Amino acid sequence: MKKEITVTINGETRTATVEPRMLLAHFIREQLRLTGTHIGCDTSNCGACTILVNGKSIKSCTMLAIQADGKEIITVEGLATVDGLHPIQEGFHLNHGLHCGYCTPGMMLRAVELLAGNPNPSEEEIRWGISGNLCRCTGYNNIVKAIQYAGAKMRGEELPSTEPQFV
Amino acid sequence: MIPAPFDYAAPKTLGEAFALLEQHGDEAKILAGGHSLLPMMKLRFASPSFLVDINNIPGLSYIRESDGYLRIGAMTREAELEHSGLISSKYPIFTDASKLIADPQVRNMGTIGGNLAHGDAANDHPAVMLAMRAEVVVSSSEGQRVVPIDEFFFGFYMTAVQPNEILTEIRIPIPPAHTGSAYHKLERKVGDYATAGVAVQLTLGRDGICSHAGIGLTNLNPTPMRASRSEEALIGEKLTDAVIARAAEMAAEDCNPSEDLRGDEEYKRAMAGVLTRRMIHRALDRAKA
Ligand SMILES: Cc1cc2nc3c(=O)[nH]c(=O)nc-3n(C[C@H](O)[C@H](O)[C@H](O)COP(=O)(O)OP(=O)(O)OC[C@H]3O[C@@H](n4cnc5c(N)ncnc54)[C@H](O)[C@@H]3O)c2cc1C
Ligand code: FES
Ligand code: FES
């Protein structure tokens, strides 16, 4: 039986009717037409679908849309503001934190929660922190740098160099 | 992939949840963190016709010590265990286990109650609970019953929880002084289920003689397994390297791993031995600290 749900997504309140079996990722992509949230697997492993629900990073392929009733959701479309890119987006951009970009929305939202709880994470904490997000392109090093850049910017510190390093 | 159709309710009290479970019988499934159930429903390994979502019932999420027990509410998330000051200061075995369970997003959702109620020998908490001799509180409209962990796991995905019941609390006897515990699992990559995992809790009496020992094994038997012979080999002994090595050998002999992509039987037995030895040493160091 279909049920009505109301969610706040990227600051906007949306009401819709869903089947209980509809996954939150499909709801966001197909019903709300916000296709920045990606689906990369069928086994809850890849993290491409990561979004924030009430500030917590979760895999939206492993939550029902109906469970999000009354909740606040942030997707990649909600990161930038009229003032420009979010520091995490700027970090990925300047540090070449992406190649194909498939994992990027999930990586960024996971990083936002990580930095909210731990504003100055060590490299190891960053790597553990993104252990639920797979990237098949970058080799992760530039993703780590992007998150370090965003952390520094959000702490109001001098920004690390974004010159490419050859090792 | 999407699950087969089902109907859904999110009751706000335990009473309403019990009524729904009674009405729908074994056609219904409880939805906790959903991180074992929903993946199985997506793959159509499970197709319940009704889901009772217990996430909106208040009062099922807590970590506290009272009346000689560490009490953990069934809906306590892995992330809450991971970040609890009480847990990291007094029960490091949980910190060992939590950070090896899946990944941060899964830990934001997955609950300790679900981890046990799923009845999967590959999950990490069952072995920890065996080592700590936990008790599981199971509730229904008829009241509560307390199930010792040794009577909780029945078979593949089967536990003592009946279709009309909800697991509400896990109780762990607060261990005496000079107790140490540790957990580790061998995994192919971060977030994978265990190739082999071992949980140990030890208590030292006067003269450093081992007075209590609990050893639980992850993914080394069709159900979560207590390494009883290894425990007996430690109790009443001074824990010398030779005694520990013998107990570890017994765990390797007694477990029943099956061959899969994570390794063949011989390899898993060998790893059971290595991890048992290492975890006894780590628990011993912590007991002495
Ligand atoms: C990618 C991935 C990796 C994972 N890796 C690990 C790992 O390394 N180690 C590990 O231990 N786990 C792992 N898990 C499983 C995860 O920890 C699950 O969250 C956990 O097994 C189930 O808890 P849940 O709260 O999500 O339960 P659910 O999925 O909601 O429920 C699981 C089962 O238990 C029943 N149930 C749940 N709560 C109750 C209750 N209170 N009373 C009665 N019945 C109940 C449900 O009806 C269902 O049958 C992984 C999961 C994923 C998706
Ligand atoms: S799509 Fe892969 S974890 Fe959600
Ligand atoms: S940039 Fe391609 S998967 Fe990460």
- The pLDDT tens digits for B128-175 are 999 999 999 999 999 999 999 999 999 889 999 999 999 999 999 999
| CB contact set of A33 (below 8 Å; sequence gap of 6+) | none
CATH number at residue B19: 3.30.43.10
Interval between CA A31 and ligand 3 midpoint (Å): 25
A164 pLDDT more than 80: no
Please report, for chain A, the start and end positions of each structural domain, with discontinuous segments joined by +.
3-77, 87-155
| Final residue in a domain of this structure, among B149, B173, B197 | B173
CA B240 to chain centre: 29
Same domain as B268, residue B234: yes
Confidence of residue A1 (pLDDT cuts 50, 70, 90): confident
A14: pLDDT strictly greater than 80: yes
In-domain check, residue B1: no
CB-nearest to A19 from B5, B106, B191 is B5
Tell whether B183 and B230 lie within a shared domain.
yes
pLDDT-derived band of residue A160, with 50, 70 and 90 as boundaries? Answer: confident
Residues B92 and B185 in one domain: no
H/E stretch holding A142: helix A141-155
Residues B124 and B208 in one domain: no
Interatomic CA distance for residues A165 and A147, integer angstroms: 16
CA of A134 to the centre of ligand 3 (A): 8
> How high does pLDDT run on average in chain A?
96
Do B267 and B189 have their domain in common?
Answer: yes
| C-alpha distance from A59 to closest chain B C-alpha (Å) | 6
Per-residue pLDDT tens for B213-238?
999 999 999 999 999 999 999 999 99
CATH number at residue B113: 3.30.465.10
Average pLDDT for residues B56-78, to the nearest whole number? 98
- The shortest C-alpha distance from A163 to chain B (Å) reads 30
Does residue B255 fall inside a structural domain?
A: yes
Q: Is the pLDDT confidence value at A165 over 80?
A: no
Q: How much is the pLDDT for B221?
A: 97
For the Cβ of A96 lying below 6 angstroms from any atom of ligand 3, the answer is no
Closest-lying ligand to the alpha carbon of B106?
1
Whichever domain contains B213, its CATH number is: 3.30.390.50
The whole-model pTM stands at: 0.96
Domain boundary at B148, B173, B198, which?
Answer: B173
Q: Say what the pLDDT of residue B149 is.
A: 98
Same domain, B280 and B185: yes
Distance from residue A7's CA to the centre of ligand 1 (Å): 25
* Residue B102 is assigned to a structural domain of this protein: yes
- Is the ipTM, as predicted for this complex, more than 0.90? yes
Strand partners, B169: B73, B137
Its domain, for residue B165, covers 63-173
Judge if B200 and B241 occupy the same domain. Answer: yes
Q: Is the pLDDT of residue B206 over 90?
A: no
Q: Quick one: which of B173, B272, B164 has its CA closest to B218? A: B272
pLDDT of residue A25: 98
Contact B52, B17 (CB under 8 A): yes
Specify the number of domains making up chain B. Answer: 3
**CATH numeric code, A3-77:** 3.10.20.30
B108 closest CB neighbour out of A58, A64, A69: A58
Judged by its nearest atom, the ligand closest to the C-alpha of residue B194 is: 1
| Domain boundary residue, one of B173, B195, B221 | B173
What average pLDDT does range A92-100 have in this prediction? Answer: 96
Q: Is the CB of A126 under 6 A from ligand 3?
A: no
Q: Render pLDDT for A38-57 as a digit per residue (tens, 0 to 9).
A: 999 999 999 999 999 999 99
Per CB-CB distance under 8 Å, the chain B contacts of A112 are none
CB contact under 8 A, A42 and B8: no
Q: Do residues B45 and B69 both lie within one domain?
A: no
CATH topology of domain A87-155: DNA polymerase; domain 1 (1.10.150)
* Predicted pLDDT at B24: 97
CA distance A61 to A87: 26
Instruction: Give residue B205's pLDDT.
Output: 94
pLDDT band at B73 (very low <50, low <70, confident <90, very high): very high
Residue-level pLDDT at B4: 97
B38 falls in which pLDDT band (50, 70, 90)? very high
Provide the pLDDT for residue A166: 60
Cα A136 to middle of ligand 3, angstroms = 5
Instruction: For residues B170 and B140, give the distance between their C-alpha atoms in angstroms, rounded to a whole number.
Output: 15
A–B CB contacts, 8 A cutoff, strictly below:
84
Residue B237: closest CA among B259, B195, B205: B205
* E strands in chain B: 7-9, 28-31, 50-53, 63-66, 69-73, 135-140, 143-148, 153-155, 158-159, 166-173, 179-186, 196-204, 210-218, 225-226
State whether B104 and A114 contact (CB < 8 Å). yes
Nearest to A44 among B39, B51, B108 (CB): B39
Task: Specify the DSSP class assigned to residue B55.
Answer: T
